[in-house]
Structure 1
């Protein structure tokens, strides 16, 4: 069985195309065999497709499963008694949600890999942390899904974790000011979901005419962009207007989903999302053939983390474009890409977009 610990000491963006391909042929062979042997629904899919899991394949040739399948079925590759945590994707009232079942190994690997990837951007030293959310997000069982998991996961990268919003989702200026004053000469880490940062942090500060000082901070944010797109706010506008209210210079978007928690794709200094040694990305046409470089297609995500459920190769409902591989000027190896949007008639499901639909 593939052991993730065999690569956790390798820098997360250090494998060339050839090296990564060799790793993935072996790792995905083992993972696919494992899920085929232990998840009846997954084995039926592969059998129906006539796929032979006993021989090694390239990543492009191993069948993917649509991310929507996790909404319709409980997919497990371990005994139910081994499950220690069940994750739910974001979903508005009335929508079905994905349920992801984690055993101890998978849950631990998710945290380990998340820290490994993000530390490549923030540094290995833990930083004072400001979270643009309310503490109730990790207490309220109705809110504790991908949102709560994201907060808890990223909190591992910081200390003196401080919440910028009170229990009523109002900006707590006293708390924020105290945090800024306490760490005015230090680097700090800020985390929040995209819509939350925009709606409850930026817009409130702009409305009040307030400016705070977070120029030594790095903001990491992720989640749905749909609500911001409706307000004609793109990534560049988001960064520019945030700087107006808090002087922040480093803003880093990430792309990921609860079906592959941990192996997220971080935005580099050039504005591109990067795959790490723990993940890969493929774009597919509507006939599911592989897109060429710079050709927009459906985003297929590959992760080496899922052991307790067959989520190692999934087809998302997003549209993206691969820009290049191993040659980004930021110096990180691996594929780098952009997410362009979602396929039409797809449910609104990003963490931040989901909260927006509730208010």
Structure 2
């Protein structure tokens, strides 16, 4: 199976994505009447977009207030929900083909850093988080999507969200001398894996950590990405660490941190545009703005070009470990709803 999806230079990517996204926007216009009305109201001819930045975007919040699906109800096999805290959640409708595609492309993306084999795996969560298999929370969907990459799973937390230290020691005794996978949302990794491993002198040096979910809770402890990586390496030996940025509204698309840390990269089927929050023009490299995400994966709903509620900055183009744009997420927009898979965890259950 091909796994390398970080191959295209930015000019190559823009040429390919523009053609594919124009076709997808036309598909959704035909099959999702509410989306067609939105495009008509915008007044632009989406088929004439000369660049990716010219493609019409939807605010990601729209999926909280409108049902937007491009397939009939009887073809929907799964409805994903976001992790907002105000009671409003996005609902993302997947048919069989879309669900298969997002799973396959997630596997190809993560295979870049995990390799082709399923590894013994620690999930920094409780098994019950996956819940109803037809309607997932974002946290449950993230955990369930990741367990497919592992074997001999250890769900680190018990039903009361307490870490099972004895089980972790047993897992490391059996698997700790060869590569193993660790997945969790950032705050939970810090609280339930890092602090436990540090306090018990556990060796995580053969682990590969994939994590996501925001830094809000850790900011209160003065822990940013660099400090997170430094402390895990110094105190537990865990140095292969990959943060990722993604959202339920573009499920299967993840922007992955490179091996050297510090920047997120776009896979070949996706891109980001950072927009000036006043003019909405594309911001220059190095200038913060609002993140727009683009992906060719959504086929069962019109989620290909979305304006997020996150602030970010592009650090460089075709000048990093992988080609294309490299960027960072700086945080939420002021007054934006608190969301994020780990940020919904408040010492209890999400």
**Distance of aligned partners of 1:33 and 1:155 in 2 relative to their CA distance in 1, 3 Å threshold:** same
Q: Tell me the residue number matched to 1:81.
A: 74
Q: Which consecutive unaligned segments of at least 5 residues does structure 2 have?
A: none
**Distance of aligned partners of 1:235 and 1:198 in 2 relative to their CA distance in 1, 3 Å threshold:** same
Q: Which of 258, 269, 277 in structure 2 is aligned with 1:268?
A: 258
Moved more, 297-306 or 195-204: 195-204
Superposition pairs of residues 73-222 of structure 1, within 5 angstroms:
73-92=66-85, 94-139=86-131, 144-206=136-198, 209-222=199-212
Q: Tell me the residue number matched to 2:271.
A: 280
Superposition pairs of residues 206-355 of structure 1, within 5 angstroms:
206=198, 209-270=199-260, 271-286=262-277, 287-328=279-320, 330=321, 332-355=322-345
Matched, 1:20 2:13: yes
Q: Is the 8 A contact 1:195 1:356 kept in 2?
A: no
How far is 1:275 from its partner?
Answer: 0.3
Q: Is the 8 A contact 2:291 2:308 kept in 1?
A: yes
Q: Deviations over 1:257-288 (max 9, x none)?
A: 11011110010123210001111000001121
Q: Which of 2, 5, 30 in structure 1 is aligned with 2:23?
A: 30
**Distance of aligned partners of 1:142 and 1:45 in 2 relative to their CA distance in 1, 3 Å threshold:** closer
The residue matched to 2:344 in structure 1 has which SS? helix
**Distance of aligned partners of 1:304 and 1:140 in 2 relative to their CA distance in 1, 3 Å threshold:** closer
Q: Is the 8 A contact 2:179 2:207 kept in 1?
A: yes
**Distance of aligned partners of 1:9 and 1:250 in 2 relative to their CA distance in 1, 3 Å threshold:** closer
The residue matched to 1:70 in structure 2 has which SS? helix
Q: Distance in 2 between matches of 1:41 and 1:130?
A: 42
Q: Deviations over 1:301-341 (max 9, x none)?
A: 0010001111000000111111112220x2x1111111111
Q: Tell me the residue number matched to 1:62.
A: 55
How far is 1:358 from its partner?
Answer: 5.0
Q: Distance in 1 between matches of 2:155 and 2:236?
A: 16
How far is 1:230 from its partner?
Answer: 2.2
How far is 1:296 from its partner?
Answer: 0.6
**Distance of aligned partners of 1:239 and 1:143 in 2 relative to their CA distance in 1, 3 Å threshold:** farther
**Distance of aligned partners of 1:319 and 1:227 in 2 relative to their CA distance in 1, 3 Å threshold:** same
Q: Is the 8 A contact 1:210 1:245 kept in 2?
A: no
Alignment root-mean-square deviation, CA: 1.9
Q: Distance in 2 between matches of 1:159 and 1:317?
A: 35
**Number of aligned residue pairs:** 347
**Distance of aligned partners of 1:35 and 1:57 in 2 relative to their CA distance in 1, 3 Å threshold:** farther
The residue matched to 1:344 in structure 2 has which SS? coil
**Distance of aligned partners of 1:243 and 1:265 in 2 relative to their CA distance in 1, 3 Å threshold:** same
Q: Which consecutive unaligned segments of at least 5 residues does structure 1 have?
A: 1-7
Q: Distance in 1 between matches of 2:229 and 2:179?
A: 18
Q: Distance in 2 between matches of 1:276 and 1:166?
A: 35
Q: Is the 8 A contact 1:169 1:200 kept in 2?
A: no
Q: Tell me the residue number matched to 2:65.
A: 72
The residue matched to 1:269 in structure 2 has which SS? coil
**Distance of aligned partners of 1:357 and 1:45 in 2 relative to their CA distance in 1, 3 Å threshold:** farther
Q: Distance in 2 between matches of 1:181 and 1:9?
A: 32
Length-normalised TM-score, structure 1:
0.92
**Distance of aligned partners of 1:91 and 1:74 in 2 relative to their CA distance in 1, 3 Å threshold:** same
How far is 1:36 from its partner?
Answer: 1.0
Q: Distance in 1 between matches of 2:343 and 2:46?
A: 38
Ranges of 4+ aligned residues in structure 1 off by more than 6 Å:
140-143
